[in-house]
Amino acid sequence: MLSFFWFTGLLISLAILCCLYRAIVGPGIFNRVAALNVIGTKTIILLVVMGYFFERPEFFDIALLYAMLNFIGTLVASKYLEKGQLWS
Amino acid sequence: MKKRISEMAITFGLLGLFWILLSGYFDGFHLVAGGICSLIVTAMSYRLLFSERRSQFFRTSWRLICYVPWELWQIVLANIDVIRRVLHPRMPIAPCLIEIETPLRSEFALVTLGNSITLTPGTITVSVDPEKGKFLVHALAKEPADALLVDQTMQRKVAGVFQEGRTEG
Amino acid sequence: MVIVDRIVILIVLAGTFVTLAGAIGLLRFPDFYTRLHATGKCDTLGTGLILTGFMVFHFVHYSSTPLVPIKVLILIIFVFIANPTATHAIVKAAYRTGVRPWHLGEKRR
């Protein structure tokens, strides 16, 4: 079962590499912000998988925190790109 | 004044419950520390949880819970549709922008409908006009766009949850 | 025990396949809005499936700590609410700034 978790982590890392291509190449800034949001969501999955692989329950708290940080980061970036400033 | 105290009490209770669920320790030190932290956070933010509409809260929440399984089934269908279009060698997409109208006006109802439109087959919410209830929607191909425009299944279901836009309650 | 292990492997493999399909969609689609279609839907369901598989695994194998899967459940609910909202926020920002949608027959962007 542990080797299956390692294999899942490897596949998720492969998906993150695909999104990294879009983050580097994507024409314009919006493609890059979207790719970073997707990388953040896949990082949450990776953290939970690693928490079960290394049998440490602290990783779930870190995953919850990183989910919130990723969400707020994407919202702030899109608000800045829409309005030109952060306060309206 | 009484409404404020009940709001603060419910917020404090929910935050304390959340603390206990996340920490997992039930001894004295952790409970007292959780109580103090919940108290500080409640004092700063007790107004954020409740909005003005309190009349039909429990019935609306019950209908919302009954709406969730249908929504989960739609999410699964949506993903099968998108994966078929991604992995197909010819990639059959024909994007277009549509505008739909709903009788919903409250914030929570508009947010639920917007999230449901984003999560269901072939459509994303682009822009919401909260005064007139208009949604600008980007559709991936013709069939999901028709399902949203012509059938109006989802609008009927969400309006059924929130019971707005009708003459009788 | 073995049959629950097989169900968990099935659920997690399905979730990983959906997530990978979302990443491939990010590379393959020709326009910004269509790419967000792929990631907004596939990412959310992929996360939900993989984390559900892990929750089932935890309930069966490590049943001495029943409070830990509740954290994972809170994570699932949060991702189901937050991911579409973030997708909508960035699509709205792109639309208001003037990114035009792609129509059939144009060049890739």
For residue range B103-146, list pLDDT tens digits in order.
Answer: 888 888 888 888 888 888 788 889 888 888 888 888 888 777 77
Residue A60: pLDDT above 50?
A: yes
Closest-CA residue of B relative to C38 is B82
Rounded Cα distance, B109 and B105, in Å: 7
> Which chains does A contact via 3+ CB–CB distances below 8 A?
C
Q: Which two tokens stand for residue B134?
A: 């208009």
Q: For tokens 């919940």, what's the residue?
A: B38
**Chain C hits for B115, Cβ within 8 Å:** 81, 84-85, 88
Would you write out chain C's pLDDT as a tens digit for each of its 109 residues? 789 999 999 999 999 999 999 999 889 888 899 898 889 989 999 999 999 999 999 988 888 888 888 889 999 999 999 999 999 999 999 999 988 888 888 788 8
Rounded Cα distance, B24 and B45, in Å: 24
Rounded Cα distance, B55 and A71, in Å: 32
Rounded Cα distance, B3 and B6, in Å: 5
Check residue B148 and give its pLDDT: 67
Check residue A59 and give its pLDDT: 92
Tell me what ipTM this predicted complex has. Answer: 0.89
Cβ-defined contact of C91 to B119 (cutoff 8 Å) = no
Cβ-defined contact of B119 to C44 (cutoff 8 Å) = yes
For residue B149, what is the DSSP state? I
Determine which of A44-53, B30-39, B87-96 has the lowest per-residue pLDDT on average. Answer: B87-96
C83 interfacial to chain A (CB closer than 8 Å): yes
Closest CA of chain A from C30, distance in Å: 11
Residues A40/C46, Cβ–Cβ less than 8 Å: no
Cβ-defined contact of B76 to C95 (cutoff 8 Å) = no
Kindly provide the residue ranges of all beta strands, DSSP E only, lying in chain A, ordered along the sequence.
none
- Beta-bridged to residue B137, according to DSSP, are B98, B125
In this prediction, residues A19-27 reach a mean pLDDT of 90
Rounded Cα distance, B127 and B133, in Å: 11
Provide, rounded to the nearest whole percent, the portion of chain B with pLDDT above 90: 3
Q: Which two tokens stand for residue C7?
A: 């169900």
Check residue B168 and give its pLDDT: 38
Cβ-defined contact of A30 to C68 (cutoff 8 Å) = no
C104 interfacial to chain B (CB closer than 8 Å): yes
For residue B52, what is the DSSP state? S
Cβ-defined contact of B79 to C18 (cutoff 8 Å) = yes
Domain coordinates in residue numbering, chain A: 2-83
**Chain C hits for A1, Cβ within 8 Å:** 5, 57
Alpha helices (runs of H) in chain B, residue ranges in sequence order: 2-23, 28-45, 57-87, 107-119, 142-146, 153-162
Check residue B167 and give its pLDDT: 42
